[in-house]
Amino acid sequence: MDLRDSRWMVHGALIFIQFAFGAFHVMAKYVLGNMHPLAIAGSRVVVATPLLLVIASAVDRKMPTLRDMPRLALLGFLGVFTNQVLFIIGLQYTTATNAGILMPSIPVFAAAFSILTGIEKVSYRKLTGILVAVVGAVVMLDIAGFSFGRSVFFGNALILVNCMSYSLFLVLQKPVLNRLPPLTVIAWAFLFGGAGVFALSLNELMEMNLAALPIRTLWGLAYVVLIPTVVNYALNTWAIRRTTPSLVAAYVTLQPVAAALLAMLVLGERAGLRELSGFAIIITGLFLVSRRRRLTQSAG
């Protein structure tokens, strides 16, 4: 496959991921009206873990070594256990708007962790692009709608810690992916992290009565389990192997764009100057992050 085609596939996958996550915030908030948050988190890992393990076994045909197990367990703790539990519980205590506004902090945290760990060299151009994209996301989200009240403080704090955990998860995958295929990495991360989620949510899973849930809740749960969990995690890991954690994280700033487009399609809303300006700023930032320096040969 041509290298240029591969890069376009990475960008296409990252765009799909953000649209799926943008819908996830709305879907999860709706499902929370009928299900306990831990039951949702438990449902995600109960379905996703065996499915990912089967797919990884069929596609990669590779087993991690004992040397890889501690790293995979750490990835599972950061990207599966902490990320999923804190997000879904935090969403119960805060608003979907607040969660959306806090999510663009992920590329900032990812850049910081990349620099601190030395896993990725983040240039001034990339840092500028990340900050520009975050500014665009903030413009689109209109932070005037952010709630600071005592009632949502706990939820906001959990979402922010979740963003930090997910950012570190993105960064720490890179060295593991130098030795293991993407599906193997994410499947075993789910095995370790999912075990913790399952243990924490066992009571709620046992009390869950699927037959009593409204049909829309079941469809929403199916979406949450399959698309943002199985598909998005696998695609994210695949993309990180082919590019950098900072680029993957920078694409999170597209989630407000996804939410705005979904509102236009589903609710009939129209995009105003603020949304269009924010979108233009985000695209500029992503261009700066993803643009590669051209190597020139001197004549001689």
Dump pLDDT digits (tens) for 158-212. Answer: 999 999 999 999 999 999 999 999 999 999 999 999 999 999 999 999 999 888 8
User: Domain range spanning residue 177?
Assistant: 3-123+143-243
Q: Is residue 186 part of a domain?
A: yes
pLDDT digits (tens, 9 = 90+) for 63-95: 999 999 999 999 999 999 998 889 888 888 887
Residues in the chain: 300
CA-CA-CA-CA dihedral for 23, 25, 27, 31, to nearest 10: 170
Q: How close are the terminal C-alpha atoms of the chain, in Å?
A: 33
Task: Answer yes or no: is 282 within a domain.
Answer: no
Give domain status of residue 77, yes or no. yes
Within a domain: 233: yes
Q: pLDDT (tens digit, 9 = 90+) per residue, 100-150?
A: 778 888 999 999 999 889 888 888 888 888 889 888 887 777 666 666 677
Helix/strand/coil (H, E, C) string of 37-55? HHHHHHHHHHHHHHHHHHH
- Predicted confidence at residue 185, as pLDDT, reads 96
Please tell me the predicted confidence (pLDDT) of residue 257: 79
Residue 252 domain-assigned (yes or no): no
Yes or no: say if 116 and 270 are a contact pair by the CB < 8 Å rule. Answer: no
- Measured in degrees and rounded to the nearest 5, phi and psi for residue 51 equal -65, -45
Q: Per residue in 231-283, pLDDT tens? A: 999 999 999 998 889 889 999 888 877 777 766 666 565 667 767 787 788 88
Nearest CA to 68 out of 76, 80, 60 is that of 76
Predicted pLDDT of residue 300: 32
Spatial separation of the C-alpha atoms in residues 285 and 129, rounded to whole Å: 4
Count of domains forming the chain: 1
What 8-state DSSP symbol labels residue 189?
H
In a domain, 270, yes or no: no
- Residue 259 maps to a domain: no
Distance CA 107, CA 174 (A): 15
293 within some domain = no
In this structure, are residues 89 and 37 in contact, taking their beta carbons and an 8 Å threshold?
A: yes
pLDDT 10s digits, 16-55: 998 888 777 667 767 888 898 899 899 999 999 999 999 9
The whole model's pTM is what?
0.84
